[in-house]
Chain A
Amino acid sequence: MQRFLLLAHLFLTACNNPQPSHEADPTRLPWEQVIEQAKGSTVQLMMWQGDPLINAYMQQYVAPAVKQQFSITLEIASGQGNTIVQTLMTEMEAGKSVGELDLMWINGETFYQLRQIDALFGPWTERLPNAQFIDFQNPFINTDFQQPVNGYECPWGNVQMTLIYNSEFVKDPPRTRAQLADFVKAHPGKFTFDTQFTGLTFLKSLLIDIAGGGNALDGPFDEAKYGQYSAQLWDYLRDIQPYLWKQGKTFPDSRSPMHQLFSNGELWFTLTNNDNEVDSKVGQGLFPPTARAYVPDFGSIQNSHYMGIPKLSGNKAGAMIVANFLLSPEAQWEKQKQEAWGDGTVLDPSKLPGDWKQRFENLAARKYAPSRAEMQSRALKEPAPEYMIRLAKDFREQIIER
């Protein structure tokens, strides 16, 4: 036993001596020098790769552009929130001095966890020349799940949750919580939500509505408020549970199976965090042409997604160059095109030079989802991350395992 403890002790102490990276801190260098330092380097980006349009934008537009303009090779690895947190945690626990990742696509929940384990490099975003165009006055951009971003992650895009329905079967989609309950009861088995981010985001909007709507849950996590309003949420869900898909005994594990059930007609509704998805999926023939997106009267959560740099990155300069390119008017404009990705820009068009404002305004409108301006009036802010953690846990106890 003593030997085992000694071994364990050696093993752990050997792991707890991270060496500082030798790279010069790029936030202290003039931008030209950052460009110089990054030349010829490779940037490892980890991102969710579940959408062919997004992948094409990255592989066919961004990667060649940074190669050509800055001689940076962009390598993309697949992995979202939890994988990123696990990867960085493991690297830190193993005491690595230089990690595998240089840049990561993250938002709220992951940002919170990475800040919890102190894995993020920063502040760095203000050093980017293109940061001057960011719409930092916008609370949906400067705050991520009620946490000020404070230069530790760089805004990249902005989206709002929509409900997607099949207008062939649903003529008048439910607008309020009460209407939704009536609709679900009248059409058993046609509505559900997943247990991952998308479904939890939907639950958060219901929780905000129960709490009085608008800014009701702004600010830090409030145990009393959560207790009071979540109890009402569980009552509401238990009331409709027998009429949900599979009698509410199980729920799709993520957005993709839910989309699958929607396309083959088993479900009449699906959910998405990307307000442009209905147009792109209909365009690709994956959703029926009768699919439409809308935001109910009780609103839906709008949030931004960001790029973060890990503390252990060995190529922070390269990561900053790539992030700066992603923020450039041309890259943001390309990304907002319907046929490319349709992701909302985080730039303030009025700040942009030349005819960029005009060009953003001239982008083709989408066909199957309401315009961004129309949805904005019903946009809800993300509540503090603890609300989501608690909802995920209590949803299991109160609904799934009941």
Chain B
Amino acid sequence: MAGIYKGKYASLGLFLALTALPIALGIGYALLRSMGLAGLGAEGFTLRHWEAVLSGGEFWRSLGLSFRVAGCSIGLAGVLALAAVLKAPERWQRGGLSWLMYLPLTLPAMVVAFVVFQMLSGAGLVSRLAYKLGLTSGIQDFPNWVNDSWGIGIIAAHVFMATPFFIILFAQLYQSERLGEYAQLAATLGATARQSARRVIVPVLLRQSFPTLVLYFIFVMGSYEIPLLLGSQSPQMVSVLTIRKLQRFDLADIPQAYAIGVLYMVFVAAAAVFLLRNNAEKTSSTC
């Protein structure tokens, strides 16, 4: 019995050493750097870099934009994927379409960003088509869809990448949770297709996929290449802002980059723990 416990603790220790320890060391080092206590040119304990980050509007605008972009991307992709799965749940399981769905997932983010740029920029394909159809009289009439302050281009790129992923996820959940059978049951009890979708299928799909959706949300918030190419210069998404502070021109800005990194991590970790714990409680209370 003791041997089992020993083995359990050893594997837990190994797990922590591989996951938590590097992160803890990283955060510890970032904290020291942001307070002038480590790194080349460290000036000694100071809070001025934290003050600069917290009091300047730049970081908060950047966090707000990252949150908005992730929310819109996941929201849109989720709705599209739900609609596709509800419309024809079996079609995504087998056959050519199920394979085709994997194609966007194989594209690197940078390539997707470039495709979106080529499609939606002022002189892009959509704008050219609009011009040929007589809808616009030139580039100046075409709306600002890339490098705009709302992040429309960024959202488009993420929706393009996330939708097939969610379709695959929902379609598999549909099968593993036997939602088809529940839908039939609901129908025999007199529910319309709309009612069974709203009351049965969608809630189960969303609840079961919630942790994945939260993780994808965090992934979008922290994405770099797509906002680098398709974003605006102000505000910038958090990762782009951090890299700018870390790498561009002024070495004295580096501690600020570390402060932003720590702050961002704290926000994301707190949000993730809150959301996932809430979800776990809800799931266990309903089961």
Instruction: Name A residues whose Cβ lies closer than 8 Å to a Cβ of B.
Output: 4, 7-8, 11-12, 82-83, 85-86, 89, 92-93, 109, 113, 116-117, 188-189, 195, 246, 249-253, 257, 260-261, 264-266, 388-389, 392-393, 396, 400-401
A288 vs chain B, min Cβ distance (A) = 12
Shortest Cβ distance from A256 into B: residue: B229
Which A residues are CB-close (under 8 A) to B117? 257, 260
Known: A189-B139, A400-B233. A246 touches B144 (CB 8 A): yes
A260 vs chain B, min Cβ distance (A) = 8
A237 vs chain B, min Cβ distance (A) = 14
B200 vs chain A, min Cβ distance (A) = 46
Which B133-154 residues have a C-beta within 8 angstroms of A?
Answer: 139-140, 144, 147-149
Complexed CA–CA distance, A89 and B124 (Å): 41
Shortest Cβ distance from B128 into A: residue: A264
Q: Mark B30-63, 1 if CB is under 8 A from A, else 0.
A: 0010000011110000000000000000100000
User: Do A12 and B121 touch (CB < 8 A)?
Assistant: no
Residue B232 at the chain A interface, CB threshold 8 Å: yes
Complexed CA–CA distance, A85 and B149 (Å): 31
Known: A93-B40, A401-B58. A8 touches B28 (CB 8 A): yes
Which A residues are CB-close (under 8 A) to B2? none
A225 vs chain B, min Cβ distance (A) = 20
User: Do B123 and A265 touch (CB < 8 A)?
Assistant: yes
Instruction: Name B residues whose Cβ lies closer than 8 Å to a Cβ of A.
Output: 25, 28-29, 32, 38-41, 58, 117, 121-124, 139-140, 144, 147-149, 228-229, 232-234, 246-251
Complexed CA–CA distance, A11 and B41 (Å): 17
User: Do B247 and A266 touch (CB < 8 A)?
Assistant: no
User: Do A249 and B232 touch (CB < 8 A)?
Assistant: yes
A-B contact count (CB 8 A): 79
B179 vs chain A, min Cβ distance (A) = 45
Which B residues are CB-close (under 8 A) to A266? 121-123, 139
- Where chain B touches its partner, the secondary structure class is loop
User: Do A264 and B123 touch (CB < 8 A)?
Assistant: yes
Which B residues are CB-close (under 8 A) to A400? 233-234
Complexed CA–CA distance, A401 and B234 (Å): 6
Shortest Cβ distance from A388 into B: residue: B249
User: Do A82 and B25 touch (CB < 8 A)?
Assistant: no
- 15 sample A-B contacts, Cβ–Cβ < 8 Å, listed by A number: A7-B28, A12-B32, A82-B247, A82-B248, A109-B249, A113-B251, A116-B41, A117-B41, A189-B122, A253-B228, A253-B229, A264-B123, A266-B123, A389-B249, A396-B234
B138 vs chain A, min Cβ distance (A) = 9
Complexed CA–CA distance, A253 and B41 (Å): 28
Which A residues are CB-close (under 8 A) to B251? 85, 113, 116-117
From B58, B122, B123, B233, contact of A253 by CB (8 A): B233
Complexed CA–CA distance, A400 and B29 (Å): 32
Which A residues are CB-close (under 8 A) to B58? 401
Complexed CA–CA distance, A12 and B234 (Å): 36
Shortest Cβ distance from B227 into A: residue: A253
10 closest A-B pairs by CB? A82-B247, A266-B123, A264-B123, A250-B232, A392-B249, A250-B233, A266-B122, A400-B234, A401-B234, A250-B147
Complexed CA–CA distance, A257 and B232 (Å): 13
Which A residues are CB-close (under 8 A) to B234? 250, 396, 400-401
Complexed CA–CA distance, A117 and B40 (Å): 7
Known: A116-B251, A249-B149, A266-B122. A89 touches B40 (CB 8 A): yes
From A109, A189, A195, A264, contact of B233 by CB (8 A): A195
Complexed CA–CA distance, A392 and B149 (Å): 20
Complexed CA–CA distance, A379 and B122 (Å): 34
User: Do B233 and A251 touch (CB < 8 A)?
Assistant: yes
